């Protein structure tokens, strides 16, 4: 049984309606057409062989739509334009030879070179690092069998189920086409109009409205391959796999007010953090984890593993740690490497293969095409950052910016030139060459040519409900408040009630909090295409439940002024470094700070240019006179106020107390004296403090 979805034609109350063209529409009769004028019968689903089969190359509607989308902008990436990257290696810690024949997974302890690029999605190359957005997490493995690109995000699911909708998603979330704003933000009419008409986005929206979309740093993000892939062993046996990257430092986020102020404090906050961590020898590290399962397990689940809007909770299927990723070298040149690197999910090696996920199937076409447009030549693979580190031999020739100089006449195959003493070139190898996995269950992947989605794809709310249930009360408040903030920016009156009508299918309390926050009446629930089911909460989906209480890799701000105690300052800096964190001394002036013993030092940063939001915890070390002077500086008062308001540990000596009082820093957890208790306090955030410092939905 299959279901043809028309989610984008649901009205606010869930009723279906026929679109009525406006005057001036591209088609006088209001019919959607291809660029050749051919009317389109279905703009929601790509053409597949059966409801769960592969996407067909003959789908000229999909190919034209994505082809045109891929070539809309030159030269920056259409999405993921703002990125930061680093070199490193992947080290295998568990032998996987029984599961896959991929060479990089055969020998425990072997290291494979990698280049990793992190990015925001919606903003342009000149936008800021810290908007509310999904983050790209793309890894290029330079294996002995060729390049493998694992191109994912910091969120394990996506907005859409079918690649047919990708251009619509990005058009909706990008700057509005008639005014070119907002930049790098989803809080505007077109995004929420589209998303509220597409219930399949609901699960991803709950993630995007959570703190996952405002990470503390690139070093403290999880990464996911999103799709279900296959691993294939030497015997030809297939195992389904989902890829997970887990940060060594644990998952960390900022809060929304902090993210906003970071955009003003440092446009390059994440880029700078990654660069400085590597330059200082504090190499970012992640564990690679796999969720491995077979067809029988997949069929037992109440959702479809080919649906990119769904995940498998770790409590249902544990993640097996098999290796580690270490980034240990910054790029030598940003343009040559970070900007010119080209990732493509179609780049795989023997032992890894695709599934029929319709979003993945479309990506396999799209990326290669867009790289040619962006980099200007079919020879982009010869750019050093993209070039494999193993031999490349084929009969592809010429093209713009050809860097190789092939010798001889052999530029076709088969040929018999070698029989005449000439080099006949390479030949296919049935033994070691890549073989596409052949379905071994005896069920052939064939069927009618249909624009449909499999039946379970119609469940748009169960996993959104799962994610909501899995959060702490603080995280739920952040999600609800984010929906309120984003929807408050929407001027189209029909959109907020329609979105709340969708949220009623997730959780009534969530919907009520959003409606109350917007000051609108509670709408009727939008009838779901398929009733939601309740699943057990998953602690693995919460940031706060998984944060590591450590200051390793963190940055601690120390506010001083003339007369600050030299001995205490020296001891504090030493203790912070020994704990694996970075101390950063802030003063009203960078140069010539005179300490209590007469020593003159230079601060790391000036007060107005080093606000407390760039730190994970703060210490305030002042003399009586120094405190009196800072009481007249708004930047100093704001420094303490923001640290407290952003739920960080705040330590101080007695002479600094008047500054804390003026900043409204109240006694409580995380507000500690400047002694040994500070480093313990600095290892976490104080979520219980939040209701006292801001209103949340």
DSSP SS3 for 205: helix
Strands 605-606 and 582-587 come out as: parallel
Q: Which of 203, 208, 79 is nearest to 132 (CA)?
A: 208
Are 532 and 563 in the same domain? no
- Asked if 233 and 105 count as a contact pair (C-beta separation under 8 A), the reply is no
Is 666 contained in some domain?
yes
The reply to whether 30 falls in a domain is no
Question: How far apart, in whole angstroms, are the C-alpha atoms of residue 486 and residue 259?
Answer: 15
CA distances from 332 to 85, 114, 236, 339, 382 (A): 11, 15, 41, 12, 18
User: Would you say residue 15 lies in a domain?
Assistant: no
Do 616 and 508 share a domain, yes or no?
Answer: no
pLDDT band at 68 (very low <50, low <70, confident <90, very high): confident
> Both 252 and 324 in a single domain?
yes
Which sign, positive or negative, has the C-alpha torsion 656, 661, 664, 665? positive
Q: At 488, which helix (H) or strand (E)?
A: helix 473-488
For residue 80, indicate whether it is catalytic. yes
In order of 67, 359, 361, 451, the CA distances from 37 in angstroms are 16, 26, 26, 20
Q: For residues 265-269, give the mean pLDDT.
A: 96
Could you give the angle at the alpha carbon of 267 between the alpha carbons of 261 and 273, nearest 5°?
Answer: 100
Which residue out of 45, 147, 153, 330 is catalytically annotated?
153
What was the pLDDT predicted at 457?
97
Domain boundary among 482, 517, 541: 541
Which residue of the set 45, 80, 87, 147 is catalytic? Answer: 80
Give the domain extent around 471.
459-541
341 falls within a domain = yes
Confirm whether 34 is domain-assigned.
Answer: no
Residue 578: count of CB within 10 angstroms of its CB: 9
Q: In total, how many domains does the chain have?
A: 3
On whether both 575 and 680 belong to a single domain, the answer is yes
274-318 pLDDT tens trace:
999 999 999 999 999 999 999 999 999 999 999 999 999 999 999
Do 533 and 562 lie in a common domain?
A: no
Same domain, 94 and 149: yes
Query: What CATH number has the domain bearing residue 639?
Result: 3.40.50.880
For residue 246, the tally of other CB atoms under 10 A from its CB is 20
Per-residue model confidence (pLDDT) at position 443: 56
pLDDT at position 585 over 70: yes
Residue 130 DSSP SS3? coil
256 close to 484: Cβ distance less than 8 angstroms: no
464 with 490, same domain?
yes
Tell me: pLDDT of 24 over 70.
no
The mean-pLDDT minimum among 145-149, 198-202, 223-227, 429-433 falls in: 429-433
Q: Is residue 416 part of a domain?
A: no
pTM, full prediction: 0.91
Same domain, 483 and 623: no
Whether residue 125 lies inside any domain: the answer is yes
The enclosing domain of 521 has a CATH number of: 1.20.1370.20
Q: How many CB atoms sit inside 10 A of residue 507's CB?
A: 20
Output phi, psi for 375, to 5 deg.
-95, -5
CA distance 689 to 695: 12
Give the span between the Cα atoms of 553 and 283, in whole angstroms: 9
Smallest CA-to-CA distance from 209 within 462, 477, 472, 525 is with 477
What pLDDT band is residue 34 in, cutting at 50, 70 and 90?
A: confident
Clarify whether residues 332 and 480 are in a common domain: no
Q: Which two tokens stand for residue 261?
A: 């102020």
- Report the DSSP beta bridge partners of residue 229: 241
Distance CA 33, CA 37 (A): 5
Alpha-carbon span 257 to 199, nearest angstrom: 29
How confident is the model over 616-628, as pLDDT tens digits? 999 999 999 999 9
Q: What angle do CA 363, 344, 213 make, to 5 degrees?
A: 75
Beta bridge partners of 118: 84, 137
Q: What is the DSSP letter of 39?
A: B
The DSSP secondary-structure symbol of 253 reads: B
Domain limit, last residue, from 541, 572, 607:
541
Is residue 492 domain-resident? Answer: yes
pLDDT value of position 26: 43
In terms of domains, do 90 and 175 share one? Answer: yes
Assign residue 310 the CATH number of its domain. Answer: 2.40.180.10
Question: CB atoms < 10 A from the CB of 519, how many?
Answer: 9
CA distance 310 to 320: 19
535: three-class secondary structure by DSSP: coil
171 is catalytic: no
């Amino acid at each position: 049984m299959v279901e043809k979805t028309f989610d984008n034609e649901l009205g606010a109350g869930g009723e279906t309606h026929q679109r009525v063209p406006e005057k001036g529409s591209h088609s006088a009769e209001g019919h959607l057409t291809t660029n050749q004028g051919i009317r389109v019968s279905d703009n929601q689903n790509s053409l597949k062989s059966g409801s769960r089969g592969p996407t067909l190359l003959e789908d000229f509607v999909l190919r034209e739509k994505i082809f045109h989308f891929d070539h809309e902008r030159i030269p920056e990436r259409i999405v993921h334009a703002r990125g930061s990257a680093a070199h490193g290696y992947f080290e295998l810690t568990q032998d996987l030879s029984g599961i896959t024949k991929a060479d990089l997974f055969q020998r425990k302890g072997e290291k494979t070179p990698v280049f990793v690029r992190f990015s925001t999605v919606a903003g342009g190359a000149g936008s800021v690092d810290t908007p509310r957005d999904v983050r790209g997490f793309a890894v290029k493995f330079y294996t002995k069998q060729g390049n493998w690109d694992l191109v994912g995000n910091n969120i394990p699911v996506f907005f859409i189920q079918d690649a047919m909708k990708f251009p619509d998603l990005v058009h909706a979330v990008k700057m509005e086409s008639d005014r070119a704003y907002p930049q790098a933000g989803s809080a505007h009419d077109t995004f929420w109009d589209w998303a509220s008409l597409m219930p399949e986005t609901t699960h991803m929206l709950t993630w995007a409205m959570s703190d996952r979309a405002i990470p503390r740093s690139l070093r403290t993000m999880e990464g996911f391959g999103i799709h279900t892939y296959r691993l294939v062993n030497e015997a030809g046996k297939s195992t389904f796999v989902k890829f997970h990257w887990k940060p060594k430092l644990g998952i960390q986020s900022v809060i929304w007010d902090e993210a906003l102020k970071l955009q003003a404090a440092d446009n390059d906050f994440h880029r700078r953090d990654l660069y400085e961590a590597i330059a200082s020898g504090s190499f970012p590290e992640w564990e690679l984890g796999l969720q491995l399962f077979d067809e029988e397990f997949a069929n037992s689940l109440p959702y479809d593993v080919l649906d990119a809007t769904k995940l498998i909770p770790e409590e249902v299927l544990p993640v097996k740690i098999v290796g580690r990723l270490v980034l240990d070298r910054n790029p030598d040149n940003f343009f040559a490497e970070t900007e010119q690197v080209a990732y493509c999910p179609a780049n795989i090696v023997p032992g890894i293969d695709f599934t029929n996920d319709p979003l993945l199937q479309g990506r396999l076409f799209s990326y290669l095409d867009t790289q040619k447009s962006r980099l200007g030549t079919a020879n982009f693979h010869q750019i050093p950052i993209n070039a494999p580190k193993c031999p490349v031999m084929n009969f592809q020739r010429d093209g713009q910016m050809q860097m190789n100089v092939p010798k001889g006449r052999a530029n076709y195959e088969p040929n018999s030139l070698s029989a005449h003493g000439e080099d006949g070139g390479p030949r296919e190898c049935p033994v070691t060459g890549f073989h596409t996995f052949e379905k071994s269950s005896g069920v052939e992947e064939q069927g009618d040519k249909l624009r449909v989605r499999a039946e379970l794809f119609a469940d748009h709310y169960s996993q959104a409900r799962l994610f909501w249930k899995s959060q702490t009360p603080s995280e739920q408040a952040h999600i609800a408040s984010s929906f309120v903030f984003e929807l408050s920016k929407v001027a189209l009156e029909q959109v907020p009630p329609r979105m709340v009508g969708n949220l009623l299918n997730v959780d009534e309390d969530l919907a009520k909090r959003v409606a109350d926050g917007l000051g609108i009446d509670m709408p009727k629930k939008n009838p779901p295409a398929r009733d939601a089911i309740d699943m057990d909460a998953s602690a693995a989906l919460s940031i706060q439940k998984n944060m590591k209480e450590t200051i390793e890799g963190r940055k601690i701000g120390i506010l001083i002024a003339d007369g600050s105690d030299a001995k205490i300052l020296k001891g504090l800096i030493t203790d912070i470094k020994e704990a694996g964190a970075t101390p950063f001394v802030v003063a009203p002036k960078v140069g010539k700070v005179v300490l209590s013993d007469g020593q003159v030092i230079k601060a790391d940063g000036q007060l107005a240019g080093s606000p407390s939001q760039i730190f994970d915890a703060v210490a305030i070390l002042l003399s009586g006179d120094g405190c009196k002077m800072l009481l007249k500086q708004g930047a100093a008062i704001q420094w303490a106020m923001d640290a407290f308001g952003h739920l960080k540990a705040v330590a101080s000596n007695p002479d600094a107390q008047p500054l804390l009082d003026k900043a409204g820093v109240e006694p409580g957890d995380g507000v500690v004296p400047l002694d040994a208790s500070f480093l313990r306090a600095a290892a976490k955030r104080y979520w219980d403090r939040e209701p006292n410092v801001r209103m949340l939905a």
